Structure 1
């Protein structure tokens, strides 16, 4: 599975995923940001971060979206696997 993810996203984007985890965690702990908005904040952050670092082009924007997807997927995998008893 890791090899498939590596083929989808450039190697330079790997550090954006942990940064998105931090952004999501900070948004979750912020009381005035509703839960439905967290994914949209992360999407905006991911696209802006990847485009500002690697150039404002379509490929960088798509890689930002992929980084957000990997971040959300990996968070849900961790949450669903190890945090079964917790409600949120």
Structure 2
């Protein structure tokens, strides 16, 4: 599933996935930032950074949405799998 999703992300934008992941971890550890706001902040960061990497603004917005989705999806897959393992013990 993730592999099929990643085929739509340009090579130059792939670096943003771990960058957004780390930003998300830092935001999660910030008490003033509520959890529901984190994906929105990541989306703004992802789109903004992608626009700088892309050839045009529309492509940057699309890539930003995709890399943000991949980052959040990757985090949730990891978290849910870890939580599932913890609850089965």
Q: TM-score range by the shorter chain?
A: 0.7 to 0.9
Structure 2 unmatched ranges of 5 or more: none
Task: Give the secondary-structure state (helix, strand or coil) at the position aligned to 1:39.
Answer: helix
C-alpha separation in 1, matches of 2:68 and 2:24: 10
Task: Give the secondary-structure state (helix, strand or coil) at the position aligned to 2:47.
Answer: helix
Corresponding position of 1:82: 82
TM-score normalised according to structure 1 size: 0.86
RMSD over aligned CA atoms reads 1.6
Aligned length: 85
TM-score normalised according to structure 2 size: 0.86
Report deviation, 1:52: 1.8
Structure 1 unmatched ranges of 5 or more: none
